[in-house]
Amino acid sequence: MTRKIYPQTDEIVYLEAQINYTILHLKNGRKIVSSTTLKYHQADSCLDGFLRVHRSYLINPDFIKNIVRERTKTIAQLLDGRELEVSRRRVELVKNLRYSIENTF
């Protein structure tokens, strides 16, 4: 049985799939490698608020600064300057979530 131990969820910026591994990218710049798939992590209730924006990325929405359309692709710009591609099928999900977050303040 595999045990999941996560850092605080507000420390996780995003998770990145690398074949059968997952890399957790943290706010402080550290990376943690997990020997399980991104789908496995996505099913965990600790990461409920995270968005699957691409088959390779699961993003903490608190770290999304902006969504930008660049020619043929859509990019999620993160607060730390990193840019992650958003799949065409998930663009509306990300835009709607971003809109609802902005209107709650």
Structure confidence by residue, pLDDT tens digits, 31-77? 999 999 999 999 988 888 899 999 999 999 999 988 888 888 999 99
Environment class of 60 (CB within 10 Å of its CB; exposed 0-12, middle 13-18, buried 19+): buried
Give residue 44's pLDDT. 87
pTM of the entire predicted model: 0.85
Domains contained in the chain, CATH given: 9-102 (2.40.50.1020)
**What is the pLDDT, as a whole number, of residue 22?**
96
pLDDT tens column, 67-105: 888 888 999 999 999 999 999 898 888 877 765 555 544
How far, CA to CA in Å, does 98 sit from each of 5, 26, 103? Answer: 28, 21, 9
Q: Which pLDDT score, from 0 to 100, does residue 5 have?
A: 66
Q: What ranges make up the beta strands (E) of 1-105?
A: 12-18, 21-26, 31-34, 51-54, 57-59, 64-70, 73-78, 83-86
Does pLDDT of 3 surpass 60? no
CA–CA distances in Å: residue 14 to residues 8, 27, 100, 103, 104: 12, 9, 20, 23, 23
Instruction: Name the burial class of residue 45, with classes exposed (0-12), middle (13-18) and buried (19+) by CB atoms within 10 angstroms of its CB.
Output: exposed
